A and B are shown apart, each in its own frame.
Chain A
Amino acid sequence: MAEATHDIEIRNLYKIFGPDGAALVDKVKAGMSKEEVKARHNHVVGLNDINLTIPAGRIQVVMGLSGSGKSTLIRHINRLIEPTSGEVMFDGQDIVQMSQSQLRDFRRQKTAMVFQKFALFPHRTVLENTTYGLDIRKVSRREAEERARRWISRVGLDGFEDSYPNQLSGGMQQRVGLARALTNDAEILLMDEAFSALDPLIRTDMQSVLLDLQEELRKTIVFITHDLDEALNLGDRIAILRDGEIIQQGTGEQIVLRPADDYISSFVRDVRRGHVITVRTIMRKGERAETPVSLPHDTLLEDAARAMTGVQTNAANVTGPDGKHVGTITLAKTVAEMIAPDDTEELSPEVSAA
């Protein structure tokens, strides 16, 4: 099993769409705005100075609305789109500089991709779709089918091996897409709005499938989405993209608590805060309360509230990573934090510093 060991480092990445993009990079670097480039040169700035380190073995979510450049960004990691300038480093190699055959090998060995509209091969059965990545690497039929069957079974499609994609529902088709990508056994899994085309219930379902798989696979997953709930649910780290620029990156909690600007504030306003914020963030340090409830510092507010109301108490003690007492929370504060953004909240140092 290919466990991820290398970060992906994106440095000073620019993409300007149009016949003469390369000539405009310097102007964009010098500060020419997206609108100006469009008006004066009729070129579109797709990505503007992207710097992002995608940690090995974690789920990096890239979030943005349509037109923000998120799909363009993910396609630079396997170079389905050629950058105008910049570098994408992986394992000491710059993907941007690779020759065509190096790039083909990189795609075959190191990456796999799941697409928004599934992009399954309609003329191939589920099994044949799933073996595709191995087929083009000329893995023997027997081994390819054996590995494919294992993943088809893992994503819950036992018995559908010989069906054609058209015979399956959207959710099942995307399971095939996931199985096809996992069978490739690559370190990097690129997921381009993989669940956006699915019904909300099935989407949540697929998110749990992915999180379960990631628990054991520890791949480097780049997940594109326009849905903040999905981003918060899946992302170890989240980068928010607007107009081709990263305007904030961090953990979900950091983004919800400290939105970098009004644009992000408007995004996070409707978030289930209790599902994102941890007790560490709102606790009073050092104090100790008389209460039977003791919670780890990374407990979510929802769970903390449930624990306190469950035994009808108004406070809980919080323990640190080492299990020692670090502070207390009150039920009132917990509920207040869950329901409304509070500008006067006190952040504990480790969160604001992170």
Chain B
Amino acid sequence: MAIDGGFREFTRAYGETLENLFHPIQILLVFIEDLLIDSPWIIVMAGLALLVWLLSRSWKVVAGSIISLMLIGYFGMWDDTMSTIAMVAVCTLIAVVLGIPIGIVMARSDRANAIITPILDMMQTMPSFVYLIPVVMIFGLGKVPGVIAVVIYAIPPIIRLTNLGIRQVPADVLEAAEAFGSSGGQKLRDVQLPLALPTIMAGVNQTIMMSLAMVVVASMIGVKGLGQPVLQAINNQYFTLGVMNGLAIVAIAIIFDRSTQAYGKRLQKHLEAVHG
């Protein structure tokens, strides 16, 4: 078809430029991956446990994380798990860095909201395999196209929930800020973002969960990690291999989820102690 032809032309002309443009992502991803895989496992484990503690402040979650990681190591899935964690970390970082500003723009402009909402709808409902095609055409197989595919899939919740969080800030509180002479930036920084933060954190949580889900699909285009053995298991009908790696994904999903949710809850501390 003509469109396909045109797109192929575009790929030939600009593919390399785009690849160079996205190269820093590859460097970042490889750096984190190497760091996690090459460092002694005990240090990595301690680091992850500390991170979980800082987020959740719950010994239960920390203990659960350590046990899960021990089991993952015992069953020989450590390296794949680290690749996946590196991948999810980078994708989440990119999604947050891009998503929050987009969410802010949507919250401040109804027109932006009207334009971006259908795009998000499309990104979320389009079968994820479909947009692997153009990504692979431009970037070929590898890590970067994987990251791009995962970010496209995982970014809508953070955008939507940032938008929602800011729009949900009570009108009377905003009016008070206005009455005291706040500028637009001051309102955003001092009132809207702090009050939207718990909702934004729910978006970060969703984004992490969706990145994890997408990692398996992205393994089809050469992303390393727990997705590859799962793919292999599907192709060869290795039930045990599939289940083990599947469970490893579940385990890190639960670790991420509990940590970020607990953190989001702590952000709402001011709402908890209600006058009786």
Contact = CB atoms under 8 A, between A and B. Distances in A.
Contacts of B179: 78, 80, 107, 111-113, 190
A121 interface: yes
Contacts of A112: 179-180
Interface stretch (B17-25, B52-60, B170-178): B170-178
Contact of B172 (A109, A117, A135): A117
Contacts, number: 76
A166 B271 contact: yes
Contacts of B111: none
Interface stretch (B181-189, B226-234, B236-244, B249-257): B181-189
B175 A115 contact: yes
A167 B180 contact: no
Contact of A166 (B183, B186, B270): B270
B273 A121 contact: no
A80 B181 contact: no
Nearest to A172: B275
Contacts of A115: 172, 175-176
B140 interface: no
Interface in B149-193: 170, 172-173, 175-183, 186, 190-191
A128 to B, nearest CB: 10
Interface in A66-88: 78, 80
Given A105-B181, A136-B181, A166 B194 contact: no
B275 A168 contact: yes
Interface residues of B, number: 23
Contacts of B274: 166-167
B195 interface: yes
A80 B180 contact: no
Given A105-B181, A136-B181, A166-B270, A113 B195 contact: no
Contacts of B273: 164, 166-167
B172 A121 contact: no
A113 B182 contact: no
Interface string A40-69: 000000000000000000000000000000
Nearest to B172: A119
Contact of B180 (A107, A124, A168): A107
Contacts of A78: 179
B196 to A, nearest CB: 10
A112 B271 CA distance: 26
A123 B271 CA distance: 8
A135 B275 contact: no
A165 to B, nearest CB: 8
Contact of B175 (A80, A133, A165): A80
Interface in A87-109: 104-109
A18 interface: no
Contacts of A80: 175, 178-179
A169 B274 CA distance: 9
A196 B183 CA distance: 29
Contacts of B173: 119-122
Contacts of A165: 270
Nearest to B198: A123
Contacts of A223: none
A100 to B, nearest CB: 9
B186 A136 contact: yes
A122 B181 contact: no
Contacts of B191: 121
A268 B272 CA distance: 44
Contacts of A14: none
Interface in B209-230: none
B190 A136 contact: yes
A195 interface: no
Interface of B: 170, 172-173, 175-183, 186, 190-191, 194-195, 270-275
17 contacts: A80-B175, A80-B178, A106-B181, A108-B180, A113-B179, A121-B176, A121-B190, A121-B195, A122-B270, A123-B195, A132-B180, A133-B181, A137-B181, A166-B272, A167-B274, A169-B275, A190-B179
